[in-house]
Structure 1
């Protein structure tokens, strides 16, 4: 199956949010941002590499990820990974989500979602898309990448260092998920506490200001009878204004605490797979080798998260 250059893919902004659609053949020519998926498969301590065919337009005969491809418009990264895995290697093996990062590709920014998996033996492959499959130890890949980087596709050179420290056991992922669930519960409690605290403070200042205004109106009626009362009334209203400003500041602080709690809760929901990972929180990324990078090491057992 030759690459479908007429496939419709999503155009995304700098934060990986869909903003339009374009045919695959036009995306690089027009310098638009897009999404891809990569899968690295391991057989014991060896990595399965794909050698691209000689007629490949951009990387003829280069070694690359076990599976790679563009995401269709509206497709999730996990669905795209499973589709490409079936199309290229005729497999339906469980995949572990590893990372999501961005890199430059000509004038475009390419958002790459990476998965890993394992195989018991070298799989069959689609000979119309793949020249051959190569097994190499990770240490050999690292050495070859240092000495002869042009042996590999540019994207693979970014993907491999991220995935070389792959999770060894799903037990570790399960324990990590249990810990995240506990933290998630704590974050929910934090949200509730901040909401209740902000509401209690708001009620307090509303009642206080109402009482001060009522008292001020009563004093205003007595102001004509006494200069002392007039002076006290001026001071009273100044205090009322100060208390009102304190109330507004308290409400604003409560909103900030609430936003922080929601932000933490959202991050944990993404870690647990409760939200779509294709819409990252802006400040959730860390920088690695000049690319925005998010890594979880969370295991996917065949479900679309």
Structure 2
């Protein structure tokens, strides 16, 4: 994993180089990322609890999947790759915007990301990879917001940040966007 390369970017998401994954997080360098939010037809969002063995944020709840495109890989292709690797399925993804944030994910690591946000619709059962995902659940956004307010320490720092910063992107409308895109 320490030799996995990430795309370093400027504040406008223009590539400025490559960095090794661990070093990039230790130094808090701005890099390209993606976050995937998968809904079922009932409008529930698929959350995952990260495997405890992950190099940071193990055991915390987060969005369906997230990660970093590899050099030469588009963000949407990276998002679909990680969705398969983490949750065991693939589906069409729609872009819904992007946000930039910088959050500490451990005493020594920082996620400083230009994050591309994608949504998708899936009605099957995930086949989560136990090396990546400890458990998963479908929840309505209102329930997630209540849990974030009551027990923020059980969620990954970037998920909290995305949910706070994406209010201008109206995540409550994402499910309707998905339904209208397939009709």
Once residues 171 and 61 of structure 1 are traced to their aligned partners in structure 2, the CA distance between those partners, rounded to angstroms, is: 32
Q: 1:155 aligns with which of 145, 155, 158?
A: 158
Q: 2:96 aligns with which of 88, 95, 98?
A: 98
2:17 alignment partner in structure 1: 20
1:165 alignment partner in structure 2: 173
2:29 alignment partner in structure 1: 32
Once residues 138 and 67 of structure 2 are traced to their aligned partners in structure 1, the CA distance between those partners, rounded to angstroms, is: 20
Distance 1:135-1:110 versus aligned 2 partners, 3 A rule: same
Q: Would you say 1:109 and 2:112 are equivalent positions?
A: yes
Q: TM-score, normalised by structure 1?
A: 0.52
Report the 3-state secondary structure (helix = DSSP H, G, I; strand = E; otherwise coil) of the residue aligned with 2:128.
Answer: coil
1:109, CA displacement in angstroms? 3.0
Backbone CA RMSD of aligned residues: 2.1
1:11 alignment partner in structure 2: 8
Q: 1:130 aligns with which of 133, 141, 146?
A: 133
Aligned residues: 171
Structure 1: 5+ residue stretches without partners: 174-298, 300-305
- Specify which structure has the higher proportion of strand: 2
Q: Which has the larger radius of gyration?
A: 1
Once residues 12 and 170 of structure 1 are traced to their aligned partners in structure 2, the CA distance between those partners, rounded to angstroms, is: 29
Once residues 58 and 175 of structure 2 are traced to their aligned partners in structure 1, the CA distance between those partners, rounded to angstroms, is: 31
Q: Would you say 1:142 and 2:145 are equivalent positions?
A: yes
Once residues 169 and 54 of structure 1 are traced to their aligned partners in structure 2, the CA distance between those partners, rounded to angstroms, is: 34
1:6, CA displacement in angstroms? 1.6
Taking CA–CA contacts closer than 8 Å with sequence separation of 6 or more, which of the two structures ends up with the larger relative contact order?
Answer: 2
Contact 1:64 1:156 in 2 (8 A): yes
Once residues 180 and 51 of structure 2 are traced to their aligned partners in structure 1, the CA distance between those partners, rounded to angstroms, is: 38
Once residues 134 and 167 of structure 1 are traced to their aligned partners in structure 2, the CA distance between those partners, rounded to angstroms, is: 17
Report the 3-state secondary structure (helix = DSSP H, G, I; strand = E; otherwise coil) of the residue aligned with 1:98.
Answer: strand
Distance 1:54-1:108 versus aligned 2 partners, 3 A rule: closer
Distance 1:119-1:170 versus aligned 2 partners, 3 A rule: closer
Contact 1:10 1:72 in 2 (8 A): yes
Structure 2: 5+ residue stretches without partners: 105-109
Once residues 44 and 70 of structure 2 are traced to their aligned partners in structure 1, the CA distance between those partners, rounded to angstroms, is: 30
1:202-241 alpha-carbon deviations (Å, 9 max, x no partner):
xxxxxxxxxxxxxxxxxxxxxxxxxxxxxxxxxxxxxxxx
Q: TM-score, normalised by structure 2?
A: 0.84
1:118, CA displacement in angstroms? 1.5
- Specify which structure has the higher proportion of helix: 1
